[in-house]
Chain A
Amino acid sequence: MSILKKALTTAALATVLMATGAHAETKRIALVVKALGIGFFEAAAKGAEEAAKELGDVEIIYTGPTDTTAEGQIEVINSLIAQKVDAIAVSANDTDALVPTLKKAMDRGITVISWDSGVAPDGRLMHLNPSSSALIGNTIVKLAADHLPDGGDVAILSATTTSTNQNVWIEEAKKVLPNYPGINIVATVYGDDLADKSYRETQGLLQTYPDLKAIIAPTSVGIVAAAQAVTDAGKIGSVNVTGLGLPSEMAGHVKSGASKSFAIWNPIDLGYAATMIAYNLSNGTAKAEAGAEIPMGRMGTVKLDDNKEGAMADPFTYDASNIDQFSSIF
């Protein structure tokens, strides 16, 4: 019975394979996101389509569950395995829960990578981070320095004293400070990711350091609160608020001039790069090994570390010229 069933399945599979054989050159790459209907991921899908167009022989399957659950993603991935896609690039809802399903996919010869939100090393060939701590640390200083040709005092408004991400970024920022002569970090204060405390801390900075030229807030709550406090203090133009934020949240403050520019990863670039990597790995033109450099089209190459993780690029800078385009996306 089971032998018969197996034989039948094999025969059926063979027929399917032969039937699709004519289109074998078209690579089908599935972009699995945390949930459908999220602006950030819709934008990533746009980037994936851009990569597909550039490559020519790629079909993008943009899919994901309707809510951000690991169970939903497992179902989606199982159906992709059944469809025999060539590659799966996933932004995972859970680091570990997807591993068995993704292992199954890899056993079937499907190229699996994770991007944005990673899965454990067992469940993927490699992981693409939007950026790295070192790149972010450098970017936030550069954002302030770009608008201060003669240098000046800048202050950092962080989240809490124990926020790991922010602490690492600030540490990296301080490391690259010598590359930006004249830029002087006078204080680091903590707004605890609360709008009111961040606002008060900003008021405190403006009072304590009358010569302050810029405030760097590498946190989305902090940057918005700081921009509002600078606006209310009538210091637009003399104090520039910058750091990491979301375009939809910062649009008003960029237009008012309170923030000349800020940064965050670009979801379009991220979707583009993930597709390029999936394509190159699936083709065998690149191998996912520690130390390998994998080409990502217009985004350059990504170098993998011992964990087979890589960083795509510097965070993308948003200013008055592109804020309208992105504020409707995420």
Chain B
Amino acid sequence: MMTTFLKSREAILALAILALLAVIAFRFPGFVAPANLANVLTDTSPLIILALGQMAVILTKCIDLSVAANLALCGMIAAILNGIGVPLPLILIAVVALGAGLGAVNGLLVWKLNIPSIVVTLGTMTIYRGIIFVLTDGKWINAHQMSEGFKAFPRAVILGLPVMAWIAVGVVLGFALFVNRTAPGRALFAVGGNPHAAVYTGISVGRTQFMAFVLSGALAGLTGYLWVARYAVAYVDIAGGFELDVVAACVIGGIAIAGGAGSVAGAVMGALFLGIVKNALPVVGISPFWQMAISGSAILIAIAFNARGQGPKGRIILKQAEHRA
């Protein structure tokens, strides 16, 4: 039992994160101070939340490239609603609903029209950013145009952590419960693992994929508000290219790109790994010209691990079953 745990991806990733922290601490001891680690967790919260949504989508053999554009559009809507005096609770409900709606558009196209998800979301990604431009004429909404309460909510500190980090913690717990303990959550694995078998057990592949997109969209909508409130600025290009970080976090976390395999702990640690790298690079004194190469190498190494770990998986299970029998 212990040895299988130590061999698991999650354990390897946890060790990799600890090793990474040790190396960083060696060069810049202040980085592992509790206050700074709390900062890193807060900074990584959007990535964690989006990685979980992306995980749901990837489990069903799809991919959602529109998350960052969805985030930007919902964030802009949040800022606009705040500008016309809508109270914060209503804004939160509105962005989650809007995000879910935008996710539903992706889901419907994948489900009803059978278009490959990478094509659908590549298209909606551009459309969502385009809508922001149409809404705002490319103008920014700036710090002084947002109300104090709007900006203060994610920063408010409860029990030593900002609300933003607590929201991420809440989403992680809720998502773990959903994926591991509910029928729709298990259906994600069934659909990705073996679509034909899933159909025979009465699970609709399309409907499950649709649900995954709605979930991913809703989480992107929520993150949209958090993002805009944290950086106190909303414009067309916010979170540009962030969808790639989200997919990278999933890949590092061992979510199989072919669907059907992965864990919540893996996705969270994948996001944390990337978050730590991003936060550490500015302080460890590495030339900015090397930073991109280092981030990229970390992802490649993770994928290499992934490929090795997933080689002859199907057969091993059969052999184990044989042994037991």
Contacts and interface: CB of A to CB of B under 8 A. Distances in A.
B142 A249 contact: yes
A289 to B, nearest CB: 39
Interface stretch (B6-14, B283-291, B296-304, B316-324): B283-291
Given A200-B43, A249-B140, A224 B233 contact: yes
Instruction: Decide if the interface of chain A is mainly helix, strand, loop or mixed.
Output: helix
Contact of A232 (B36, B155, B281): B155
Interface string B231-253: 11100011111100000000000
22 contacts: A195-B231, A195-B238, A196-B231, A197-B278, A200-B279, A200-B282, A201-B282, A203-B279, A203-B282, A204-B281, A207-B30, A207-B283, A208-B282, A227-B143, A248-B142, A249-B140, A249-B233, A251-B144, A252-B142, A252-B144, A252-B232, A253-B143
A255 interface: yes
Of A194, A195, A200, most buried by chain B (CB within 10 Å of CB) is A195
A95 interface: no
A225 B233 contact: yes
Interface string B126-147: 0000000000000010111100
Interface of A: 161, 188-190, 194-197, 199-201, 203-205, 207-208, 224-225, 227-228, 232, 248-253, 255-256, 327
Contacts of A227: 143
Contacts of A224: 142-143, 232-233
Contact of B231 (A203, A225, A249, A253): A225
A205 B28 CA distance: 13
Interface in B1-44: 28, 30-31, 36, 39, 43
Interface of B: 28, 30-31, 36, 39, 43, 140, 142-145, 155, 227, 231-233, 237-242, 278-279, 281-283, 285, 288-289
A127 B143 CA distance: 36
A249 B234 CA distance: 10
B303 to A, nearest CB: 23
Contacts of A205: 282
Nearest to B232: A228
Given A189-B282, A204-B282, A232-B155, A251 B288 contact: no
A252 B31 CA distance: 30
Contacts of B31: 207
B231 A199 contact: yes
Contacts of A327: 144
Contacts of A199: 231
Contacts of B289: 161
